Amino acid sequence: MNKLIMSLVASTALASPALAEMLELEKDELTFGFIKLTDMAPLAVAYEQGYFLDEGLFVTLEAQANWKVLLDGVIDGQLDGAHMLAGQPLAATIGFGTEAHIVTPFSMDLNGNGITVSNDVWERMLPHIPKMEDGRPQHPISASALAPVVQEFKDEGKPFNMGMVFPVSTHNYELRYWLAAGGLHPGYYSPENVTGQIDADVFLSVTPPPQMPATLEAGTINGYCVGEPWNQQAVFKGIGVPVITDYQLWKNNPEKVFGLNAAFVEENPNTTLAVTKALIRAAIWLDENDNANREEAVEILSRPEYVGADAEVIANSMTGFFEFEKGDKRDIPDFNVFFRHHATYPFYSDAVWYLTQMRRWGQISEPRSDSWYDEVARSVYKPDIYLQAARMLVDENLANEADFPWDSDGYKAPTPAADIIDGIVYDGRTPNAYLDSLPIGLKGDETIAGTEVKG
């Protein structure tokens, strides 16, 4: 019955003027996993707008309990692909945690995260935060304003705990970046100690995204870094205050990817192309005409089978604004970017940045050459598949040729100092020089032995 319904929907979708070129698919019934976050939107849109069906794909979307379950599902074949943390394919491929070769032909978005603290911590931070003329806090807020609060906790004999969603998540690395830029040490990993809390001023631990607000309200953590809508949920519930978005931390930073087992891609090249085409079309729809479709996207995402949060909460960040405190709603039009700025192209330099952060905090325990970073990036990120899918869409008049970086070597221009909170330029072509420029974190030949930095 489900297949019959899908066929009827497909016939309706294919009656539209934009008829996709049909590939000879190796597999047409697919199951994709996701976590309940707004940046899973390309999957929901590709399904709801019929873009998967246009490609002859019969897709089932399944919410997953957490990131580990999701990764395991892709590795063991229960899932054909998934909305993934960008660090997951990289970590799996180099053998940090579960070892498996996972690849991505499609980056799902830029930005979309925030760092939130409890009301108590916010009140303690306020005296250390500069004010604008109208009395509101000046953004972006540096973690240097948090440092006196962390010291207060130490003086009271209490640990300062913060949540992030997974050890190789963007959220872990963004939270660490923000803390270190403000002079706070977020702790190291070692092969013997995978807590990530060696020599830490602030103790980070894993909390699944939808559980973040409740965990904060319970007092188990004092703050967290997570994707939307779970920062805005804290504002909506009156239990916490977002202090910075990742757009303010690092303008147009990479976020999630669509991950597939490398064996699946090898065995199903046309199916992989078809999936990538559908996802590119969804990303275009999400950003086109200055976000004109975002209200519809909010309605889709608010459904229980997708994110399942109140539409009002999702709209706070999906429609060009971000609310820091009740009534303090500020314009951040690029808080969620799905296609602009080549958001969907899988840049090697994005992969290298994640690898540098793994090395910085000890998840990569030994020094690696610049060429190693490049080789790993190329083994996981697949811009050739992406551009092949994009070319097909352009030829079908479903995408504009000017919207794709055809001549890219896979590396973005260096991120300028003005676009990142600590003012340190990032150049993916020179990862070791970048690591050496960061004041806190491992560099050169340094390693962790016990609880000490050696080398």
Question: What digits encode the pLDDT tens for the residues 151-187?
Answer: 999 999 999 999 999 999 999 999 999 999 999 999 9
Give yes or no for a cis peptide into 159 (omega within 30° of 0): no
The fold for domain 113-252 equals D-Maltodextrin-Binding Protein; domain 2 (3.40.190)
Token couple for 231: 């920062």
Q: Is the pLDDT of residue 418 over 60?
A: yes
Phi, psi for 452 (deg, rounded to 5): -125, 150
Amino acid at 400: N
Distance, in Å, from the CA atom of 431 to the CA atom of 316, rounded to the nearest integer, reads 36
What local confidence, expressed as pLDDT, does residue 316 receive? 87
Q: Which of 12-21, 72-81, 324-333 has the lowest mean pLDDT?
A: 12-21
Token couple for 194: 């995978």
CA dihedral 174, 177, 181, 186 (to 10 degrees): 120
* Cβ neighbours for 329, distance < 8 A, ≥ 6 positions apart: 316, 321, 322, 323
138-153 pLDDT, tens digit per residue, is: 999 999 999 999 999 9
CA torsion through residues 277, 282, 286, 292, sign: positive
The three-state secondary structure class of 141 is coil
Q: Are 104 and 380 in contact (CB under 8 A)?
A: yes
- Bridge-based pairing of strands 58-63 and 240-245 is unpaired
Greater pLDDT, 341 or 12: 341
Confidence of residue 16 (pLDDT cuts 50, 70, 90): very low
249-270 pLDDT, tens digit per residue, is: 999 999 999 999 999 999 999 9
268-288 pLDDT, tens digit per residue, is: 999 999 999 999 999 999 999
- Compute CA 238 distance to the chain's CA centroid, rounded to the nearest angstrom: 25
* Cβ neighbours for 131, distance < 8 A, ≥ 6 positions apart: 137, 138
Average pLDDT over residues 323-329: 93
What local confidence, expressed as pLDDT, does residue 97 receive? 87
CATH number of 2-111+254-321+335-403: 3.40.190.10
Compute how many other C-beta atoms are within 10 angstroms of the C-beta atom of residue 131.
Answer: 10
What local confidence, expressed as pLDDT, does residue 320 receive? 86
Distance, in Å, from the CA atom of 206 to the CA atom of 148, rounded to the nearest integer, reads 24
203-254 pLDDT, tens digit per residue, is: 999 999 999 999 999 999 999 999 999 999 999 999 999 999 999 999 999 9
- CA-based R_g, the chain, Å: 21
Q: Where are the beta strands (DSSP E) in 21-149?
A: 29-34, 58-63, 81-84, 102-107, 110-111, 113-118
Q: Residue 138 carries which DSSP code?
A: P
**Where do the CATH 3.40.190.10 domains begin and end in the chain?**
2-111+254-321+335-403, 113-252
Q: What is the mean pLDDT of the chain?
A: 94
- Compute CA 307 distance to the chain's CA centroid, rounded to the nearest angstrom: 15
* Global confidence as pTM: 0.94
Distance, in Å, from the CA atom of 444 to the CA atom of 455, rounded to the nearest integer, reads 8
Which residues is 59 bridged to in the sheet?
30
Q: Is the pLDDT of residue 15 over 50?
A: no
Amino acid at 144: S
